[in-house]
Structure 1
Amino acid sequence: MTEQTTGSELGHLATVTVLPTARAADPDADTETLVLDSARQVLADVHPGEPAAATVVEKVDLDEWDDRPLIPAWMRTPEGWAAWSGRIYRARKRAARRWVRRQRTDRGHVAQFRRGARRLHDWVVGLEGVQVQSLHHAAQIAAREARAANRTARFTPRVMPVKHKAAAKNALVATQLAEAATSAYRKARMERRRARQMRAAVVYGPPAAAVTAGYATSGPLGAAAGVLATFAGGAFAGRHPISEEQDWSADWRSLGDGDAMSAPMLDSVFRAAKVIGQEETLRIVQMPMLDARGAWSAVVDLPPGIPAKKAMTSVDQLASAFGVESAQVSVTKRGRSGRIELYVTRDLPFTELPGPGPLLALDGPTNFWGRISIGPDVRGVHVSISVVERSGLIGGEPGAGKSASGNTILLAAALDPRVILHLADGKGGGDLEPFEPLCEAFEGLADPEAFDAMLDAEITDMQRRYALLKKLGKRKVTEALAAQYPELRQKLLWVDELMLYTTDDDHGRKITRKLRNLVSRGRAAGIITFCATQKPGSDVVDTSLRDLLSIRWALRCTTPEASDTILGRGAAAAGYSAKSIEAEMRGAGFLWSEGQTPVLVRADYYDDDQVNELTARAYKLRAAAGTLPAGPRTLADQLRDLEDDDARVLAVVLDAFETEGSNGDPADWLPGAVLLDALAAAGLTVTAEKLGALIPRPDDERKARRAWRDGSRASGYLHVRVVQAAADRYGLSA
């Protein structure tokens, strides 16, 4: 409570408390009265304007303190004692639980007692038995030799005194030696018995005395106490586990049985796989380690003269020696020819459910000029590649996951609004349909003739790009150049199931030739080509085309030869065979893109709903950037783009046919006068002779007369003749 003073001298607030003297003077007074009286007493002693009294610090003499120890605060209250007791109770309860859990391990008291009993018994038995057995064996040999010497002496004729005397002497010496050996054996046996008895008395005497004394004094309860004391003593003797216990009953150790990888295991495995000789060993560069995924890894040096290729081609043998599947073993070179990194997964890789793809977490567009996320390798490390000035080939058996793997590249290109998409679906299915609204060219009917025409347009565009580059004085398209000139934007040509196009009887050879031209020359012009097929053999893809595709991705194949048709000849012999990929590892394959060796990678997976979500996002990005495809352009628009006078005349003529048509179809025939009027209205001065020269007609068609709307008959032009003129003169089609 505070009270404001009325005097001018007291202009501050005073904190008021109830004084004990006020309450003692009038115990029956109410609280308000006591507070006011206390306030008056406090204010009466306040003298504003006077300096505050200096605080006097009393000097404390520490020597005057007594010898009582400092008492903690919790010991002064019952609540503190209760909290302390509760803490001790909880700690003891947790300790009891830990003790129960520990009993099932080699640190449990039962296991300790077993170890202690075995150690004490081994101490009782002692080591004298070895000496006794040795003396026993020596006594047996000496006795055998003495018997043989006595037999020889007995049967030596006395008529040969020299031999008889020597034999008798040898028999005497052998008998003395046998007696000495027998005496030493008996003495050692007696000493062993006496030592064992003494040690047995030391070990077994106290437990027997404790049990007997306990039973004699307290009956069964005392006997139980003696047994418990015996158990405690045995557990104390075996409290330390044996650190180097070895199971001699099992000579074969393997990772598949749950054993830990070690240097001796690696030596035995590589010897069993015949990678190294029986007398050779590996040099451990990085000791075997267990990572967070439960996989073992190690870096070793092979003996001198053994290349890493020998180990890489023996993956099947190594996997058998490890007791795992071949797909669980990965052997790669590390820095030099004789050094390899061994990686063995706990389970078959790429069989767990895939996580969400990284494109789902993106808020904005991708950058197709940068690196593209492909997926994780067997170590869980994400692999990314660059497709700038590259081309690719994806192959594998049916059901290996080619469509899902291709989505990683297609979606990355679709989410970059600067990339032009041209797609051809040789399967004729619905895998590429979600991308159709984003494509400037799309062939989804598996029509070789339409794809052949599509390649013609691609080659024409490539020539235009090179003409512009030559005009600009540039050698190839870069990201900065494409940003400055939109007609040089990156273009992705994706061909699914290439086999259907290249094996066609009528158009197969032409398609192969045009694709080879596009792949070999289009990279510098910003045109990226990817092909996907089941088995890209020479009968499907000509080797001259296949060798130009720099990025190879081999999904599961049925034979090593099929894998080599994708990765190149000798890849399977070098240890990179897509046949080793199990059927459960869908979407996994050997990716050969930028390094010297292929890498086993599983593509990021996007289901149908996620693909639709990402393509819808790509549509919005392209709409915002103004790069959505404008749809098919009419022949008249194509003619106007040429900026040629004759082409402009043909464009106006085609517009006149469209205007005079009905139901959305152009007119089949129009009089020449109508076309000349349309040209004049468009500001073009064209004579009938020039129009006839621009649109050639047969003589009979030129002289023929047809009825027109006003009843007159006039000569004119057919619509097909105009279209034919545009095709013959400029190579354009509707």
Structure 2
Amino acid sequence: MTEMPTGPRTDRTDLATVTYVHGAGPATEASPLPAAPALGGTTETTDRAEVVESARRVLEGRVTPGPVDLEKVADLEVDLDAFDDRPLIPAWAKSAEGWAMYGGVLYRSRLRAYRRWVRRQRTDRGHAAQFKRGTRRVQDWVVGFEGVQTQALAHQAHIATKEARAAARAARYTPALMKKKKEVAVREADRTQTVAMQAVTAHKKAKQYRRNLRTLRAGAAYGPPLTAIGAGYLQAGWFGASAGALATFAGGAFAGRHVITEETDWSADWRSLGDGDPMTAPMLDQVFQHAKVIGNDETLHIVQMPMLDARGAWSAVVDLPPGIPAKKAMRSLTEVAGALGVEEAQVSLTKSKGKGARAGRLEIYVSKDLPFTEAADAGPLVALEAATNFWGRIAIGPDVRGLAISISVVERSGLIGGEPGAGKSASGNVILLAAALDPRVILWLADGKGGGDLEPFEPLCEYFEGDADPEAFYEMLKAAVADMKARYALLKKLGKRKVTEDLANKYPLLRQKLLWVDELMFYTTDDEFGKKITKLLRNLVSRGRAAGIITFCATQKPGSDVVDTSLRDLLSIRWALRCTTPEASDTILGKGAASAGYSAKTIEPEMRGAGLLWAEGSNPTLVRADYYTDDQVELLLKRAWDLRDAAGTLPEGPKSLADKLRDQGEDDAQVLAVLVDVFNAYDQEAKEENADAAVDWLPGTVLVDALKAAGLDITPEKLARLVVREDAEKKKRTWEDSASALNGYPLAAVLRTVQAKYGLTA
């Protein structure tokens, strides 16, 4: 439909002739009008104004048609069929003014269409929204649904691998004496290992299948746009690239042109941090309201606006409404994590410890992914070429923010606990290696597991108990208590209250000593020595700190039935690795820690070596211990051996009976030491020719000559008085090539004399 002007126009008079057919004109106006000049034919120039005015009246409907005499019309020789099927268009419409009028109509219609397009862009039907939907649909098509099957197979492989490890561990530690159980355990280990390998293979195939399909679909989806942009750039530069980008945009908008109801319903209700939305102040208000930490009409005061760090994690500092402490939010960690749409282990809520800290000020940190699941970096000790300083701070590992955490163990004692497989051995290596690389530290280690985790440290130990023998460990503790008393005696003599680094460097007796007990539960639950061991340990932990004795204990669940509370409460450093229940976590961190928001149960099984470390400050910190491979441990221990060898602090090996006799400082002991050496020399010479040979008797002349060669002037009579023989032992024997029998001394008589005079045995 075209639009025609309704108002009078007097500025134009050069209109073409209009032919008017009676009976087909507009409506009649009631007011009388002057008669219009006759229409039809061509007018002269002087009459053009009148013609124009007449045409305008006709168009405006102000002309009253006169009566029509049909008889006269019939008499006219007019052929009405001479007009073809074309519409009756005024001739002036084809003039310049007519074409301008049509152009104006087109312009106004296009302008309205443009305004409608602009208004539509702000809705879900705009081209930008269409392109966004299109790209999301294309990406969803590229990703596909194969990931569900792959994830299911990954879970199966994880479970099968875990069962295979448990079965292998059971087969390894089942005693060989229990043949049937050993065979059953070995068969079960083989079976579970086969199942695990099959599950892992299936998972790998599923991952490869998913990768191949995604690659093909990605090429089909993203190949044409990239090709169009690249080809356009090569052909026409940036103009061509822009044309290719515009074509890509058009294709994406075409793919998302239809709004699907299901696409908008799921996202219109509730969006969370886990859905990829940014952390904002309104979101935090809603999160804490849903977690029931604050009321529905209360809001948080933002101290530090939510920020995204380089690790992809969100952090913020907020003040809770007046009267609400930060501990209330920390106790609601599970609810806050659920409202954020992430795992509990990803959320860290701690009281602000910086300047201007308040009871209601809270630091919020939300990791992008589950922390501590990626491969651990090499520990700092690998790159350290010099010796460590056990008197200083010890690097433990990174926290959830990636910051290095270190502690001081001077005048401290520690407890490490967690479920089997949580990483206690790997976590303990952090402290043990730091102590081993300090050549001044004395190592006393006891392995209640008997599994060989501490065996690499044995050559560096002054005292080592690796057989899980409660009696041997009890003897170790008695020796440690005796050493503690000797240390305090020296401190009293020096007029000092406790051991310092300067004193330890000056007096070798006061060097730091690390007493490490692995699987304490095995020792303290022994029927015969359990209570005795607990008593000695409590004595060492309570009194040994000032004497330079540091005690660390590791066990699975240090409950009151395993570790007496009087001993457990004295261990000031607590490290709770993953636990199965909040109560088990509380036995390590202390009663009430789980209800305060610090529970090792929230640590996921994938977070090996991670635990809540309560060493310094008022709050435990989630830390993962630095991990050292077996090869790295071997390298570090070799370095520790070299450092101790250069410093002259390598532990002395077990002394021979002769050395023990020389340590007595008596003349008779020196004589007996030479006799023992002579017997050992002849015995070794005999074994070189015959491995089964043994020398248990030597002539008196041989012994007297050896004593004189050693610088000891002793006569046969004095030797006979020192080494008393029984009547049967005085019988003469032949010796080597001698023609007659000789008097001599049996080895049994010498050993009997040593034991009788000095209480020493071979």
TM-score normalised to structure 1 length:
0.61
CA distance in 1, matches of 2:731, 2:457: 49
Contact 2:574 2:589 in 1 (8 A): yes
Tell me which amino acid in the other structure corresponds to 2:428.
G
Secondary structure of 2:639's counterpart equals helix
User: For residues 325-724 of structure 1, what are the structure 2 equivalents within 5 Å?
Assistant: 325-334=343-352, 335-641=357-663, 643=665, 651=673, 654-655=676-677, 658-659=680-681, 661-662=683-684, 663=687, 705-709=729-733, 711=741, 718=749, 720-722=751-753, 724=755
Contact 1:680 1:686 in 2 (8 A): yes
CA distance in 1, matches of 2:582, 2:677: 60
**Is the alpha carbon distance of 1:694 and 1:458 closer, same or farther for their aligned partners in structure 2, counting shifts above 3 Å?**
farther
**Is the alpha carbon distance of 1:418 and 1:277 closer, same or farther for their aligned partners in structure 2, counting shifts above 3 Å?**
same
Contact 1:668 1:719 in 2 (8 A): no
Secondary structure of 1:451's counterpart equals helix
Tell me which amino acid in the other structure corresponds to 2:632.
Q
1:316 aligns with 2:334: yes
Contact 2:700 2:716 in 1 (8 A): yes
Q: After alignment, is 623-632 or 393-402 more displaced? A: 623-632
Contact 2:415 2:575 in 1 (8 A): yes
Contact 2:733 2:744 in 1 (8 A): no
Q: CA deviation digits over 1:236-276, x for unaligned, max 9?
A: 9979999xx9x997342311111222222222222221222
Contact 2:346 2:368 in 1 (8 A): yes
Contact 2:699 2:742 in 1 (8 A): no
> For residue 254 of structure 1, what is the aligned residue in structure 2?
272
Tell me which amino acid in the other structure corresponds to 1:270.
F
Q: CA deviation digits over 1:314-335, x for unaligned, max 9?
A: 1111111111111111111123
Contact 1:401 1:555 in 2 (8 A): yes
**Is the alpha carbon distance of 1:466 and 1:343 closer, same or farther for their aligned partners in structure 2, counting shifts above 3 Å?**
same
> For residue 37 of structure 1, what is the aligned residue in structure 2?
none
CA distance in 2, matches of 1:384, 1:297: 23
Contact 1:639 1:647 in 2 (8 A): yes
TM-superposed CA distance for 1:291, in Å, is 1.6
TM-superposed CA distance for 1:384, in Å, is 0.3
Q: CA deviation digits over 1:43-79, x for unaligned, max 9?
A: xxxxxxxxxxxxxxxxxxxxxxxxxxxxxxxxxxxxx
Tell me which amino acid in the other structure corresponds to 2:752.
R
Percentage of identical aligned residues: 69
CA distance in 1, matches of 2:443, 2:101: 96
Contact 1:657 1:666 in 2 (8 A): no
CA distance in 1, matches of 2:444, 2:559: 25
CA distance in 2, matches of 1:343, 1:395: 26
CA distance in 2, matches of 1:213, 1:365: 97
1:267 to 281, 285, 303: 285
CA distance in 2, matches of 1:214, 1:507: 113
CA distance in 2, matches of 1:467, 1:449: 27
Secondary structure of 1:459's counterpart equals helix
> For residue 158 of structure 2, what is the aligned residue in structure 1?
none
Task: Kindly tell me the number of residue pairs found equivalent between the two proteins.
Answer: 510
Contact 2:308 2:315 in 1 (8 A): yes
TM-align CA RMSD: 4.1
Contact 2:698 2:744 in 1 (8 A): no
2:308 to 290, 299, 312: 290
Q: CA deviation digits over 1:216-238, x for unaligned, max 9?
A: 89xxxxx99x9799769966997
TM-superposed CA distance for 1:559, in Å, is 0.9
**Is the alpha carbon distance of 1:602 and 1:715 closer, same or farther for their aligned partners in structure 2, counting shifts above 3 Å?**
closer
TM-superposed CA distance for 1:365, in Å, is 1.6
CA distance in 2, matches of 1:340, 1:693: 85
TM-superposed CA distance for 1:649, in Å, is 6.4
Tell me which amino acid in the other structure corresponds to 1:307.
P
Tell me which amino acid in the other structure corresponds to 1:258.
G
CA distance in 2, matches of 1:650, 1:471: 36
TM-superposed CA distance for 1:545, in Å, is 2.0
TM-superposed CA distance for 1:446, in Å, is 2.3
**Is the alpha carbon distance of 1:679 and 1:575 closer, same or farther for their aligned partners in structure 2, counting shifts above 3 Å?**
farther
Q: After alignment, is 710-719 or 588-597 more displaced? A: 710-719
Secondary structure of 2:348's counterpart equals strand
**Is the alpha carbon distance of 1:270 and 1:405 closer, same or farther for their aligned partners in structure 2, counting shifts above 3 Å?**
same
**Is the alpha carbon distance of 1:479 and 1:646 closer, same or farther for their aligned partners in structure 2, counting shifts above 3 Å?**
farther
TM-superposed CA distance for 1:527, in Å, is 2.1
**Is the alpha carbon distance of 1:651 and 1:566 closer, same or farther for their aligned partners in structure 2, counting shifts above 3 Å?**
farther
Secondary structure of 1:288's counterpart equals strand
Tell me which amino acid in the other structure corresponds to 1:432.
L
User: For residues 53-452 of structure 1, what are the structure 2 equivalents within 5 Å?
Assistant: 250-334=268-352, 335-452=357-474
Contact 1:704 1:715 in 2 (8 A): no
TM-superposed CA distance for 1:405, in Å, is 0.8
CA distance in 2, matches of 1:630, 1:525: 22
Which segments of 5 or more consecutive residues in structure 1 lack a partner in the other structure? 1-211, 218-222
> For residue 8 of structure 2, what is the aligned residue in structure 1?
none
Tell me which amino acid in the other structure corresponds to 2:297.
E
**Is the alpha carbon distance of 1:378 and 1:640 closer, same or farther for their aligned partners in structure 2, counting shifts above 3 Å?**
same
TM-superposed CA distance for 1:694, in Å, is 9.4
CA distance in 2, matches of 1:501, 1:360: 33
**Is the alpha carbon distance of 1:542 and 1:239 closer, same or farther for their aligned partners in structure 2, counting shifts above 3 Å?**
closer
CA distance in 1, matches of 2:668, 2:524: 38
TM-superposed CA distance for 1:422, in Å, is 2.3
Contact 2:697 2:744 in 1 (8 A): no
Which segments of 5 or more consecutive residues in structure 2 lack a partner in the other structure? 1-97, 130-263, 735-740
CA distance in 2, matches of 1:684, 1:213: 141
Secondary structure of 2:516's counterpart equals strand
**Is the alpha carbon distance of 1:669 and 1:313 closer, same or farther for their aligned partners in structure 2, counting shifts above 3 Å?**
farther
Contact 2:373 2:607 in 1 (8 A): yes
Tell me which amino acid in the other structure corresponds to 2:536.
K
TM-superposed CA distance for 1:631, in Å, is 1.9
Secondary structure of 1:250's counterpart equals helix
**Is the alpha carbon distance of 1:275 and 1:655 closer, same or farther for their aligned partners in structure 2, counting shifts above 3 Å?**
same
TM-superposed CA distance for 1:373, in Å, is 0.5
**Is the alpha carbon distance of 1:233 and 1:573 closer, same or farther for their aligned partners in structure 2, counting shifts above 3 Å?**
closer
> For residue 101 of structure 1, what is the aligned residue in structure 2?
none
TM-score normalised to structure 2 length:
0.59
TM-superposed CA distance for 1:659, in Å, is 4.9
> For residue 202 of structure 1, what is the aligned residue in structure 2?
none
Q: CA deviation digits over 1:115-154, x for unaligned, max 9?
A: xxxxxxxxxxxxxxxxxxxxxxxxxxxxxxxxxxxxxxxx
